[in-house]
Amino acid sequence: MKHYIIIICICIILTIFNLFLIKNQSDCQKREEIVIVNKNVTYKDKYNKKTTYYNKAKFNTINKIFKEKKVYTIAITNNKSNTQESFKEFINKLCFYNNENIYLINISEYTKKEKAKYYNLNPELKNIKENTIIKIYNKKIISKTTLDKDNINKLIKSYE
């Protein structure tokens, strides 16, 4: 009789633990929302569309910063993207208005050898193709934000 009570108690404890894990897992899968806040800020310098405020990153640069123990922001795009130009414009404005240092990667400009090395830096990079901003720290991706065409356009307009 004691064995049955012990087994039932263990089953109840495991069930409660399982419910706790399921609840935490569902919290992690919530989508991120973009909230645009209108700011009335004046800047000393005016934004110039012709100036590039982001850093164009070659593979050697990315390879170097992936290994450092600092947080870096990297924007990823490719030539196959139909929103590449608007994404670059958004990244440029983000760099200027937020005074952020962002490295822009165009995967299409890498050679096959560089692409293979790039994808080996972190397994998650294989799933990131375009219009994505990642934050990295010591070879780990700590944040990933993928933008679609509508969100890119909304964000660009928010800076006007």
Stated as kind and residue range, the H or E segment containing 34 is none
**Residue 102's beta-bridge partner residues?**
73
Q: Range with the lowest mean pLDDT among 11-15, 85-89, 102-106?
A: 11-15
Q: How confident is the model at residue 41 (pLDDT cuts 50, 70, 90)?
A: very low
Residue 18 has pLDDT above 90, yes or no: no
Q: What is the pLDDT of residue 2?
A: 72
Residue 22 has pLDDT above 80, yes or no: no
Q: What is the pLDDT of residue 132?
A: 92
Q: What is the pLDDT of residue 81?
A: 83
Taking the model in full, what pTM does it have? Answer: 0.70
- The per-residue pLDDT for range 140-155, each reduced to its tens digit, is 889 998 888 888 888 8
Cβ neighbours around 17 below 10 Å, total:
10
* Phi and psi, residue 102, nearest 5°: -120, 135
Q: Which residue has the higher pLDDT, 18 or 37?
A: 18
Q: What is the pLDDT of residue 15?
A: 80
Q: How confident is the model at residue 99 (pLDDT cuts 50, 70, 90)?
A: confident
Nearest residue to 52 (alpha-carbon basis) of 92, 12, 112, 22? 92
Q: How confident is the model at residue 39 (pLDDT cuts 50, 70, 90)?
A: very low
Q: What order do you get walking across the sheet with 102-106 strand by strand?
A: 55-56, 102-106, 71-77, 132-137, 140-146
- The per-residue pLDDT for range 112-127, each reduced to its tens digit, is 999 899 888 888 888 8
Mean pLDDT in residue range 94-109: 89
